[in-house]
């Protein structure tokens, strides 16, 4: 039986509890310490929503393609999300708010299930990925100032290690190994791909 098929049975053991955000600097912090501002001491807090939509063919992962006009991560594939504001009660509240603002996902249609491991980005963010079940009735209504497209990718495809390709880039004086998924016309790479690999590894450990 595939990971995607029995996913709901394994998720409670694979995810961090909703009760409190998982501690730590981020599972990849040591890998990026030489690239982070102030050596990672002043990272901005952010949250993203890893939405799982239950479809007849199996769970789908909700993703967006950012507009080309954004200052950070322009044109990249990402989860809905952004910076945690002072008004947000928790990373969960921030992820839900951002998903509402970016793709029109109202809170009643998203059921948070737990956290993946925190992640840091070279743009200076400490990110809490919040996994949530999304109602199949959800229809995206995107904010065109931030999102060019919202789409779904089969979770089973993203959980298959054979589909996680590695490649190297030269960046700031060193070689960096990154991960990418190629699905249709979409290239899912960088932080989003790394969080998906973290999702798979946490499931595998259960």
Q: What is the pLDDT of residues 85-98, one digit of tens each?
A: 999 999 999 999 99
Per-domain residue ranges of the chain: 7-203
> What fold, for 7-203?
Nucleoside Triphosphate Pyrophosphohydrolase (3.90.79)
CA 106 to chain centre: 18
Task: Give the end-to-end CA distance of the chain in Å, rounded to a whole number.
Answer: 14
Say what the pLDDT of residue 70 is.
Answer: 58
Burial class (CB in 10 A: 0-12, 13-18, 19+), 102: buried
Say what the pLDDT of residue 201 is.
Answer: 95
Residue 119 forms beta bridges with which residues?
Answer: 127
Give the Cα separation of 56 and 27 in Å (integer): 34
Say what the pLDDT of residue 101 is.
Answer: 97
Q: Kindly report the average pLDDT of the chain as a whole number.
A: 89
- Residue of higher predicted confidence among 74 and 52: 52
What does the pLDDT average to over 13-40?
84
In percent, how much of the chain has pLDDT > 70?
89
Say what the pLDDT of residue 56 is.
Answer: 79
Residue 74: CB partners within 8 Å, gap ≥ 6?
66, 67, 68
Say what the pLDDT of residue 67 is.
Answer: 86
Structural tokens at position 159? 């959980």
Give the Cα separation of 123 and 91 in Å (integer): 19
What does the pLDDT average to over 145-169?
93
């Amino acid at each position: 039986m595939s990971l995607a098929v029995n996913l709901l049975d394994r998720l409670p053991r694979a995810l961090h509890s909703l009760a409190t955000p998982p501690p730590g600097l981020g599972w990849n912090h040591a890998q990026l310490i030489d690239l982070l501002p102030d050596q990672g001491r002043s990272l901005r807090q952010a949250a993203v929503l890893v939405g799982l939509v239950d479809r007849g063919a199996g769970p789908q992962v909700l993703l967006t393609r950012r507009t080309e006009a954004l200052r950070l991560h322009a044109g990249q594939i990402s989860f809905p999300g952004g910076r945690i504001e002072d008004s947000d009660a928790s990373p969960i509240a921030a992820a839900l708010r951002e998903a509402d603002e970016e793709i029109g996902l109202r809170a009643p249609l998203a059921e948070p299930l737990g956290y993946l491991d925190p992640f840091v980005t070279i743009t200076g963010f400490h990110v809490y990925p919040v996994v949530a079940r999304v109602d199949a009735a959800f229809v995206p209504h995107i904010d065109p100032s931030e999102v060019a497209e919202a789409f779904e990718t089969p979770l089973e495809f993203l959980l298959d290690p054979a589909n996680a390709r590695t490649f190297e880039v030269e960046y700031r004086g060193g070689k960096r190994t990154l991960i990418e998924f190629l699905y249709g016309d979409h290239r899912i790479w960088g932080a989003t791909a790394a969080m998906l690999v973290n999702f798979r590894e946490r499931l595998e450990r259960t």
